[in-house]
Structure formats: C-alpha cells, structure tokens
Structure 1
Amino acid sequence: MDRVNIPFKWQEATGRSQFISDRHFDNLLEAKLFRSTCARAKILNITLPKLPSGYFVFGAKDVPGRNELPIVLSDWPVFASSEVRYLGEVILLLVGPDLKELDRLAKLIHVEYQQLTPAFTPQDSKQLIQGAIHNQDAIDDLKNVFDRHKLNKGDLAAGFSQAEHIFEESISTGYQEHMYLETQGMVGYHKDGKVVIEGSMQCPWYVHHCISTVLGSEDVRVIQTPTGGAFGGKEDYPDVLAGALCVAVQRLKQPIRLVLSRNEDIAFTTKRHPINFHYRTGVDSQGKIVAMDVKVDINAGAYLSLSGIVLQRAITTCTNVYDIPNATVEATAWATNTVPSGAFRGFGSPQTCFGIETHLNHIANKLGLDAAEFKRAHLLTTKSKTLTGADIFGDLVLEKMYAEICESSDYHAKVQAYRQQDRGANKLSGIGMALFQHGCGFAGDLEDTLVKAVVRLVKDDNDEIEIQVSNTDIGQGLSLTFCKIVADTLKRPLSSVRLAAVDTQHVPDSGPTVASRSIVIVGYLLEKAAEKLTDIWLGCTAQSVEQRYSKPDYHQWDQQAFKGNAYQATSYGINVVELEVDSATGVSEITGLWAIYDVGHVIDEAVFKGQIDGGFVQALGYGGLEVMTLDSEGRFQQTNMADYVIPTALDVPKIHSSVVDNPYQYGPQGAKGGGELTHNGGAAAYCAAIECAINHPINAIPVTPEVVCSLLYGKKSGLESMTQEEQGHENQL
C-alpha cells in the first residue's frame, strides 16, 4: 500500500495555491469596513458624503433579514446602529471599484456620538460606571455578566479545616494575537440564484448559518478557499466579514472582495481571552493539597462570541492534571468595551495551565519542596475522580511521561545545579516544567446535543473515494490524516482517496474545525463510515455511505449540575524549558526544549511533529514575547509585525519531543486530539524556567526582559511580589 500522497500540500509548497487575494473575478468590486472611533457611545447621527457613480454604502437599514451575527448568542450586530461597544466596531460597509477612493470616502463620513465611560477590564466592568454594557435590566450581580458557572468537588470547608498552611495569590494572563500568515478575507458573488461567499475560514457551516440569518434566506452557499493559518482566529470573526459582505452582494449581484490589511486585522479581530485567577489553597502537615478555592474572571470583550464555551473549558480544567479532593471554582465572563475575545488554540487551557502550574510552583517553593515532585504527588490516577466528578476513562500514563521527560532533559540534576549558582553572575540559568491536558471535542454534551456531526464517503465507478466533511485543513494536515484513516480502513491505496473541497452545497455538516475534535470525533466517524463501505463494497460501482455521531456510553454529562465527563477524551503533555538569562539586560536565550505527549496513537508522525514544534514555539511567544496593550481609549498599541513580536526559528533550539503510545478505544486507529494540546504548557514552563534562573516569583505573562529587570532590581519580593501592572503588563490597563 502506498503511504505517500504526492498532492498533499503540493500547491502550497510550490507557491501555486490560490488564496482569496489571488483569485480573479470578472467585474470585481472592492469593499472597506467603516468602524467606530470610540469604545463606548450612543450613535446620534451619521452623515454620509455624496457618493460617486458606482460607489455604495450599506448599513443596518439595508439588512434584509436580522441585523445580528448568530455566534452562540445573537448579541453582536452586523452593523452597529444605535450604539457602539468597542473601538473598531463595524458601522458601515463601503463598496466600489477603487480601494483608494473608498479610503477617501470613509474619511468624509461623520458620526455624531454621545460618548460614555468605557470599561476595559473585568474590574472596570464590575463598577457599572454609567450603567451596564450588557444585561442592563438584570439584578446588579448579573449586570455585565455574559456567563457564570460554579462547580464543587468534595467539601471545601472540611478541606480547609485540615490545612496547616493556606496560600493565596492572584495570577493573570493577557491578550494574544493569532498572527496567521494570511489576513482575514472573503469574496462574495451571486450565482444560480444564491449568494456565494468564498474565503479564508475554519467553519464554513458557521458562516452559512450567519449569512442565511442576515439575509433571511437559505439561498446561500459557502466555500472555504486555501487558508493561510487560523489558530482559532478564523472561527468566529469570518462571520463579521460575511455578515456585512452578503448584504452588499445580495443588493448589487456583483462580485465584491473584502480583505483586511495586516494593521486592520491585528487592531480589530478577536484575541485570546485575558484571564485573572485568584487562588486560595490549603496544604496539610504532610504537604498534601487538601482544599483549593479558585475565582476566574474572563475579559470577554464587547459581545459574547465564544466566551461562554471558553469559560466552560476554563472552569472544567481549572485543576489541570491534579487530584484535588476538595475544590470550588467560580468563573465569570465579563462584558467590557474591548474587541470581543474569541477562539485561540487551546481555548482557555493555556491560561488555566499557566495559572495552576505557576501557583503550585510558588506553593512548593514556600514549603521548601521540589516543585516537580510536589506536583507529581498530586497527579490524577486511574482511580481518581475528575474535577467534575467523573471516573477516569482509559489508562493514564502521566507517571511514565514524567519519568521519561525527567530523564531525557536531566531535569532534577539541573534544578539542583541552578539552585546553587552564583546569583551575581552575568548569566543565570534556569529550567522549568509544566504538566497539562486538553479535553478533546466540545465540552459537556454539545457534540451530542448541538453539533450532531455527519460525514459522508462517496465512491465512484473507478473505486476512487471522496471524503465529504466540513472540517477544513488550515495547516494542521487534515487533508492527509483524513485520507490515511479512510485508506487504511478500506485497505486501499492512499492515492485512491481524496478530500473534497469544503463547499456547503456539497459536504454535510460534520461540525466546526475547532476544539481538537477533527481527529477524535470526525476522524472516528470516517473510520466507521469506511468500515460500513467495506461491508457493502461493490467493485467498479458508485456507492456512498454516511455516518452520524453517537457519543460513547461512558460519556455522561449534566449541564445544570456541571457534573460528569467534561470531555469525551483527554490528551496529556509535559514540557520542559531550559534557558539562560542575561542579568544585565533581562534577555533570555532558550538553550533546551523537551516535550512528551499522550495523544492516544499518532496517525502520522511527521504531521504531529509539525504540531508539536509549532504549538510549543507559539506558546513560548505567549509566555515571553507577545505583549499586547491597550491605551486609554481602548486601542491596541501593537498593530503591526514590527511592534507585536512573535518568535522565529532563530529563537528556539531543536525541540526534543516524543509520544507515549496509549490507544484510545473511540478514536481512529486509537488517536486522540493533539493540535491544541501542544500550545497549553509552553508559557507555564518558560515562566518556571525564568523563576528558577532569577529566584523571583512571577504572577503574569508575558515575562519580557523589562519584567525580568524590574524583578531583579526592584524592591519588592515574595509570593505576591508584583501586581500585573508593576510587571509592566498594560494588557489589561
């Protein structure tokens, strides 16, 4: 059986792939979004200039259906009409043949505002200055609250009664920009009586639902074009572009292109959620954690978008890979006057991993214990109950992973050596470890009750098989791994299987390309569909089969009580970062990286290696480089690739990575999800390594050279040595 699919990424590798900006359309018009210039205001009046022939402006009054983007909650308007909630909110769409002329016309539009005091942080949001942004008619405790959940495990009060030591601290994370290679972009046109949207996106059926809502018609079609990266950033935001664009296409019946510049993309698209954690943890006389109380405040931004789902993942994974017998977690997603926060690789897990890993490091240091061994003593086992009260399904191999990475990185010997180093030296060495997990698929029972995925295999009379799913290859390699799953199951040559272009007119809704669900959920459905096709196979005869999602019997969830299996399956990982800090400049040089993962069984080692390297490096940027701050008006101060710095290949050494083979019963070939997992631990491990080097606790990321210098030469010290602001993080003002 051949194992190499020559067409895999061949167009991209040779520079022939046609991205949305490369496509040619006859009689193409250009489009430009006109955005708000203040963060919170009532719109009193809009004055438009006289438009030249062939130029048009569209707004809320032109929407034929509903002026809303149906992203979970339909609170985000296509066009703002009576108020604006964040700087850069879309008010109008300008359309015409020349972009320079559109820029000129945009400058002539005047909006009269009644400005209100904006809230940029959860702390601001709680104060309700000049009234609530969201839930104005609710009781005070629920005003500006998009979503809130609380879960309990064990008896918190009884746990704290056993504690000999109680540790309390606050830890925070900031924004992160996706910085995908290709900016957001779409083209819309009219064909065969339908409005067609083509573009760079993750979830075509999301966009299909959006434009059918906005137009009030099901005569719509959505096609994913080759997509130059996404990382979650093209899950929700394509709805913003498509919602506005489809209104103009429906009216003009002419092709229209809307592509964001890099500055516009960074300034106004969704970001990773900033999160504030407050921990109160009790430890008994034997060094065991007996109680943990966690408060989580999420900056959701101006509209809910995906914040409720991010919040659910954050709360259900708050104790990470640890068995804490008595725990309470309360999490709230707050409305603020910032760009709506959205999906980003890891979907809340990198934040919760950083929080818990850093907090446990600080506790261990205060107790005079080795941090890694302290964590090891609290690891989940197959006999544990999860934070949401479920039994562990399958084998846990965390102990094996821990032993392997400690040996490969020589972790314990290096920790001992670096503790004894001369703190006055020009170069300070450090090493840090982070353990982490990622739930595969949507949280709770959403796969079963909401998504309800369907896949289809179509065989022609030449016995060539086409995979029809709505999951998109955005750089993670689905166009190869899906084909491998089907070819291996059918025992057919890989070259006889192809993945259909994702076009809602032809492919069923197998759910979105998010939440590390593509392999473990959709890949498993494809494996089952291929088994069906094997059973009915007729050579040289056209045939097709479909397979629908049905959750495994063990997967039970109570949404009201927040109890049960939070995820169908969970993947695990451990990262180790070794580095050297220049004590004069605070600049760190990474000298060693190690990673180990349990993703069930790896279908394609080269593809997953790409995920490991990319995810780890992206996480290191989150932990040490990627500063995103707001000014006093709510405007991001970093809007280009010169002032928003991301790591390059020159910033990292070779990553020594491995996997533990631990097949999952309900995954294709035993596989679980892995793409998001690889981002979850790197920032926490990097921060731990910096702490090891400089011998100071850190409570926020990114840990920039400025932060390091302020810690080395500042006056404060201790568990809560510095607030977020004092560490130089203005990302939440």
Structure 2
Amino acid sequence: MDTVNTTFKWDEATGVAKYIADRHYEGLLEGRFYRSSCPRGLIKSVSLPSLPDGYHLFGADDVPGQNVLPIVEIDWPAFADKEVRFVGQVIYLLVGPNPDELERLLGLIEVEYQPLTPAYTVEQSKAAVDGAIHGEDNVLAHHVLHRGDIDAGFAKAVKVIEETCSTGYQEHIYLETQGAVCYPSDGKVVLEGSMQCPWYVHHTMAVVLGHDRVRAIQCPTGGGFGGKEDFPDVLAGPLAVAVEKLQRPVRIIFERGEDIATTSKRHPVTFHYKTGVDKSGNIVAMDIRLDINSGAYLSLSGIVLQRSITTATNVYDIPNVRVEAHAWATNTVPTGAFRGFGSPQTCFAMETHINHVAKQIDEDPIVFKQRHFLTSDSTTLTGAKIYGDLVLDQMLERLLSMSNYKLNKQSVAHFNLQAMADKHGQQGKHGKQRGLGVAFFQHGCGFAGDLEDTLVRAKVTLDKQPDGTVQILASNTDIGQGLSLTFRKIVADTLARPMDSIQLAVPDTGIVPDSGPTVASRSILIVGYLLEKAAKRLKATWIDGENQRIEQNYLKPEYHQWDQNSYQGNAYQATSYGMNMVEVEVDIATGETQILDAWAVYDIGKAIDPVIFRGQIDGGLVQALGYGSCEKLELTADGTFAQRTMADYVIPTALDVPSIASDYIDNPYPYGPNGAKGGGELTHNGGAAAFTAAVEDAIGEPLSSIPVTPEKICLALYDRAEQEYGDEN
C-alpha cells in the first residue's frame, strides 16, 4: 500500500514530490480540448479535418455510458452535443503524441452555431431574452426561509434602512494548474491527478463509461481551495472515454491562461437588505434577498445557496427574518466551490450592512454588533437551540486586548487629524489616512442539513500490521491544509503510539473507503472524529503481533436534527467562529491601500495542532484580504474574463502581507477529535469585511461591494468632493 507524508511534507519541501506533470507513463499521449467560441447557441454543423495516424478525436457520440458530469444534478454534459452555454465549454477531446500538431489540428475544426442572446448577469438572466437557458425561468435553485413574524417586526420599527451589497468572482490561483493522466490497468480505467475528491472522480468516470471498473488516485496536489472539488470531473469524463477506447495513457495539463479562462470561480452574489430598527436601537426585523450567479450549469450552486440562506444573519440574533435566495443560470463558466463556500460573501455583506445600520443610528458598530450577538441561550436562524457554549464575548475581549484597541483607535484618530487638509485647500501633513475595521463571522462545519447522514455516510478504516504499524485508510486529501499530519496525530495520540508508526494511505479509490469529500470543513470534525473513535476501539482490542482491521461509520449526534423541506433544525453539526481586525492606510490621492496590521481570534473547539492552524489563519486571512482588496475578475462584453494571466489578476504578494497576531479560545466540542471543530474555511470568511470596514473608517465614506480597489476608493472620494463643492456653490 502506498503511503504519503510519513515525514510531514518533506518531499514537497525538498522538491522530491512528483506532481502530475512530473510523472512518466509509457506510451503517453497528450490531450487538448476543443472548446466553444460561442457563449450561447445551437450547434448547426461541424467540419472536422482528416487526422494523421496516431491522432484521435472524441465527442458526445463516443460516450459509452451517459454523456453527463454527475455533479449534484445531471445537467452538465461531458461533451457539448446539441447546444453550448458558455465560451470554453468542451465539445471535443483531441488526442495524439505531439502537442504542436494537436494545436494545428484544433485550428482546423470548424463549428457553425445558431447563436442565441446570451445572459451574463443575473439581471440579463431574469430577462430571459431568446427564452430561458435553463427550465422556464433560468432559476437553478430557490428557497425561502422564515423566522418569527417579519410583518410584526417591521411594525415595531421606527427606522427602516435598505441597502444592496455585492461580491464578485474570485479565482483560486492554486500553485498547480488542473491536470490529470488516465490510463488502463488490470482491466480498469485509472485516473491520477491533482484533486480534492477522488470518489467524485471515480463516480464521474463510472457514469460516463457505464461501468464501475474505474479507479481514481490523488497525486500530490499543489493547492485546491475548492477549485479541485468539482472541476477535475470535467477532465475525468472525456479522459475516461478516450482511454477506454485507445487503451493507452492520455494526459491533460492546463496552461495558466486556460485554467483562469475555463475553470470554476467563486460565485458572485448580490444581497438586498431591508432592516427595521426599534426605538431602543435594536434590529427587530430583517428582510434579505440574495441572487447568485451560478453560470451555465448548477454544479454546486444549490449547496452554496443552502449555506448562504442558513447563515444569512451571521453571528446575530435577529428575532424576525425572511430570507429568499435564487441561483440563476447565466452563459458564463459554471461557478463552483471556493474556500468558505458562500460564507465569505454572506459574512462580507452582512457585516458591511450592520456597520452601516449602526452608523445611521449614530452608534459604534462594535457596541451595536455585540448587543446583537447570538448567545448560548439563543435559537438559530433555522430554529435550533445552540449546542454547547458560545464564547463570542470572550473572543471580542481577547481581540480588543491583543490589538490594544483603545490606544490604537486614538493613534489612528491622531494620525488622521494631522493628515487632514482643511476646506481652504491647505495640504495635509501626510496625504494619507488610517482606519480600523472589525468583522465577526462563523462557519458551519460539514455539509449543510442532514447530508452527512443521508447522502455522504462517511467511513474510515484503520489497518494494524503485525509489526505495530497502523495505516489510516480514508479518502480525504491533503491539499496543503495539513491533514497528512493532523490525521496521523489524532490516531497516534489516541493510541499513545509514536507518530512514525502511523501511516496515511494515498487517497486511492481502489484502496480507501469513501470518507466523503475534502470540503466544507468536514475533514477534522467528521472524519477526524471517526478516526479517533476507530483508534479507541483498536486500543481497547490491541493484540501484539497480529493484523487487525477496524472500520468506523458515521453516526450523527442525537441533537443534530434537520428537516430539509422546512429548513428547520440544526443547519450544521457544529459551527466555528472568528473575529478579525485590520488596520489600513489609504493614500487619499491615489486610493492605494496598505494593510498595516491584522489581528485574529477563533473558536475552533480545540486545535489538533496549533502550528498547523496558525498556518491556516495566515493563509486564509491573506486570501480573504486579497478577495476584499485587489482580486478583480471581470466579464468582457463577450462573456469571457478580462483578466487572463497572473500579470493582470492581482493577488497579494509576500510584500503585501501584514503582521498577523492570532489566537484562539479553547472551547472543546464533544463530537470532534480531541474536542476540535473545523477551521480551514473559517479563516477566509472575515478578512474582506474587516478590510472594507477599515477603509471606510479611513476615508469616511460607505462602501458596499468588493473588491475595494483604488479606483473604487477614488470614486467614493470624488463623489464626496463633488458634493462638498456643490454645497459651497
């Protein structure tokens, strides 16, 4: 049995690890996709070139099973057949030995389309010109959630505040682009690749081929962040078809430009809030509408929508709430999983809106937010009692203490006083202003609702060898978050055995059971807990010198109840919480920002390995700050992305990373390994909101969409200057 990382990340750190592009396969052929150049249309005719010996073309007619990628719903074809829905959609797979010849042959393929009017935005999707892309109204998913009595709540309000907040696309920019090699072995079609979820890939190949003689193996993976959850299926389906026919290995590895142009992105979401405040300054009602741009197919949008709805009020106890959400079909690349899975969008919008509500009633946002915190005695938005202790007040106290908030606030005010230019045009001392911003946030661990119990049903195995070595068999993948250490540590600590006696099997569907995917902050909470339980059973029955095998299946805690029809109950088995504070400096002339410092406090139950989690904190927070400040991904008039390379899609560099002080509150969760909950996604959820709040504090103007680019800051300052100039004239 192959194992990985018995010495944690040593091969990756020393350059020994073989990623998919580093591997040798005898008789390897290269594969290239022929993609749609039409954003929306019917395929009228196709003209194909004569292929030289050794070159092969595969399309919808070659699929022996179903021509679908079974990502939640059966709506996304492996090969476009009668219609295309976005620029870049796969129509053919061309295979041959010479990449240059493949490119020449691709240029000779001609597809004639009957074009239809495309919809790139939610507004265009709602208009449904030339009919609906999907169904009758372009709605891929929809749900409404109620808490309390919304009308009675608004009847108590003395002030009603309405606002629209929005978020854009975000590109994953993992270090390693999408790539896979498929080959025949022992009567099976085997795929090795850069992936998060081997059993997803296994299932896709089985559906496309019409049989289960398939196998998926994860290679060392250079980052995923959700981008390698569903998208490897897009490679796996066509590759499996080609290998089944040719009985030779075929490889597809994307260049960076192809990866940015055609892979899934974070969902853009628009939120509209209507919030009622009573005479005591408390929120008594909130009506929330949110629209998700899902792209051409459902993919994971329905699950993102469910998370967006069930966490719509973030960490706040609002008595009367109505949430309505739609996921809309558009003629763009299907949007999919990205770290946080809908929560960064929801947390940004809710935090930003609550800040603005507080300011409109002349109250300090931190004080206002704390007064509305959920407590251990609260009921959740979905009608469940809070399980365990909520420590939000304790976390806030720690955040304010470690950031020296009061003195820092005074220092920022003093700096800005010196920097201000008066109305007579006198030049300020610095030409810059500073601000502090705070965000509070949460993340539900595991799949929403009852999916862990009704659909996933995870299982793990521990295989003890006669020499005392214990092998962990689980399908969860280490994509940089450290599972290959934390899983081994959970088992080693439980067995009271040395770490070097615990091995982790390569996630290979021919060997490991289906533990569910590496998504949704479930790996520690769900799978780690199963490993702990299995290790306890093994310890209790340990026999020296013998082989022993322990299997452990998921069983939900009794308190975790959920009604999928009414969206009532425990939306998540457990929830982790976080708080971020950011200090920024804004150049008033250029709109450029510099992040000076950042502070972070978390409740993840109990950290399995504090060093690993601090790595998650730093990485997640920096990724979130990029999402909030500079990661701009825009659609052009023809439905493609304007940003096509790492030169024009801007992400934070090492020079942009501020000093980050972080801590966590011990609050053990009884159904997690050693008391742990999930934390990897949580760390991405608050940074964009905290950054935006800090910029607002610096410039004194509200901002309601991200990324907050220099252009957006300058526009806000220009609008204020124009208003002031108008007032004087």
TM-score by length of 1: 0.96
The 5 A counterparts of 1:331-370 are 331-370=325-364
Give the direction of change, closer, same or farther, for the CA distance of 1:594–1:340 in structure 2 (3 Å limit): same
C-alpha displacement of 1:536: 1.3
C-alpha displacement of 1:177: 0.2
Query: 1:16 matched to which residue of 2?
Result: 16
- Aligned residues: percent identity? 62
Query: 1:589 matched to which residue of 2?
Result: 594
Q: Give, in whole Å, the separation in 2 of the partners of 1:627 and 1:252.
A: 42
Provide the secondary structure at the position in 2 that maps to 1:333: strand
The 5 A counterparts of 1:410-489 are 410-415=404-409, 418=412, 421-422=416-417, 423-424=420-421, 425=428, 426-489=431-494
Q: Give, in whole Å, the separation in 2 of the partners of 1:575 and 1:457.
A: 38
Q: Give, in whole Å, the separation in 2 of the partners of 1:680 and 1:636.
A: 25
Query: 1:108 matched to which residue of 2?
Result: 108
Contact 1:60 1:81 in 2 (8 A): yes
Contact 2:6 2:503 in 1 (8 A): no
Query: 1:241 matched to which residue of 2?
Result: 235
AA at the equivalent of 1:13: A
C-alpha displacement of 1:534: 1.1
Please give the per-residue CA displacement for 1:467-515, whole angstroms capped at 9, x wherever unaligned: 0000000000000000000011111111100100111010000000000
Please give the per-residue CA displacement for 1:176-220, whole angstroms capped at 9, x wherever unaligned: 000000000000000100000000000000000000000001000
C-alpha displacement of 1:407: 1.6
Contact 2:582 2:691 in 1 (8 A): yes
Query: 1:688 matched to which residue of 2?
Result: 693
AA at the equivalent of 2:480: G
Q: Does 1:32 align with 2:55?
A: no
C-alpha displacement of 1:411: 2.5
Contact 1:418 1:692 in 2 (8 A): no
Q: Give, in whole Å, the separation in 2 of the partners of 1:10 and 1:417.
A: 44
Contact 1:282 1:289 in 2 (8 A): yes
Contact 1:419 1:692 in 2 (8 A): no
Partner of residue 565 from structure 1, selected from 570, 574, 583: 570
Partner of residue 633 from structure 1, selected from 638, 641, 659: 638
Please give the per-residue CA displacement for 1:258-309, whole angstroms capped at 9, x wherever unaligned: 1111000000000000000000000011110000000010000000000000
C-alpha displacement of 1:535: 1.5
Partner of residue 210 from structure 2, selected from 205, 209, 216: 216
Please give the per-residue CA displacement for 1:614-654, whole angstroms capped at 9, x wherever unaligned: 00000000000100001010010111100001001210222
AA at the equivalent of 1:601: K
Contact 2:382 2:570 in 1 (8 A): yes
Partner of residue 177 from structure 2, selected from 183, 191, 195: 183
Please give the per-residue CA displacement for 1:327-379, whole angstroms capped at 9, x wherever unaligned: 01001100000100000000000000000000011111111110111100000
Please give the per-residue CA displacement for 1:145-177, whole angstroms capped at 9, x wherever unaligned: 111111111110110011011000100000000
Q: Give, in whole Å, the separation in 1 of the partners of 2:681 and 2:484.
A: 18
Contact 1:696 1:717 in 2 (8 A): no
The 5 A counterparts of 1:249-264 are 249-264=243-258
C-alpha displacement of 1:715: 5.1
Q: Give, in whole Å, the separation in 1 of the partners of 2:651 and 2:38.
A: 28
TM-score by length of 2: 0.96
Partner of residue 661 from structure 2, selected from 656, 660, 678: 656
The 5 A counterparts of 1:243-322 are 243-322=237-316
The 5 A counterparts of 1:642-721 are 642-714=647-719
C-alpha displacement of 1:414: 3.7
Q: Give, in whole Å, the separation in 1 of the partners of 2:73 and 2:634.
A: 27
C-alpha displacement of 1:410: 2.5
Contact 2:596 2:659 in 1 (8 A): no
Contact 2:6 2:504 in 1 (8 A): no
Query: 2:145 matched to which residue of 1?
Result: 151
Query: 1:54 matched to which residue of 2?
Result: 54
Q: Give, in whole Å, the separation in 2 of the partners of 1:268 and 1:416.
A: 48
The 5 A counterparts of 1:135-146 are 135-136=135-136, 143-146=137-140
Q: Give, in whole Å, the separation in 2 of the partners of 1:511 and 1:6.
A: 23
C-alpha displacement of 1:702: 0.2
Query: 1:725 matched to which residue of 2?
Result: none
Q: Give, in whole Å, the separation in 1 of the partners of 2:403 and 2:556.
A: 39
Q: Does 1:408 align with 2:402?
A: yes
Contact 1:30 1:257 in 2 (8 A): yes
Query: Any stretches of 5+ residues in structure 1 without a counterpart?
Result: 137-142, 719-733
Partner of residue 543 from structure 1, selected from 548, 555, 559: 548
Please give the per-residue CA displacement for 1:537-575, whole angstroms capped at 9, x wherever unaligned: 100100000000000000000000000000000000000
Query: 1:721 matched to which residue of 2?
Result: none
Query: 2:381 matched to which residue of 1?
Result: 387
Give the direction of change, closer, same or farther, for the CA distance of 1:357–1:716 in structure 2 (3 Å limit): farther
Q: Give, in whole Å, the separation in 2 of the partners of 1:207 and 1:217.
A: 14
Please give the per-residue CA displacement for 1:583-624, whole angstroms capped at 9, x wherever unaligned: 111111111100000000001011101100000000000000
CA RMSD of aligned residues (A): 1.1
C-alpha displacement of 1:656: 0.1
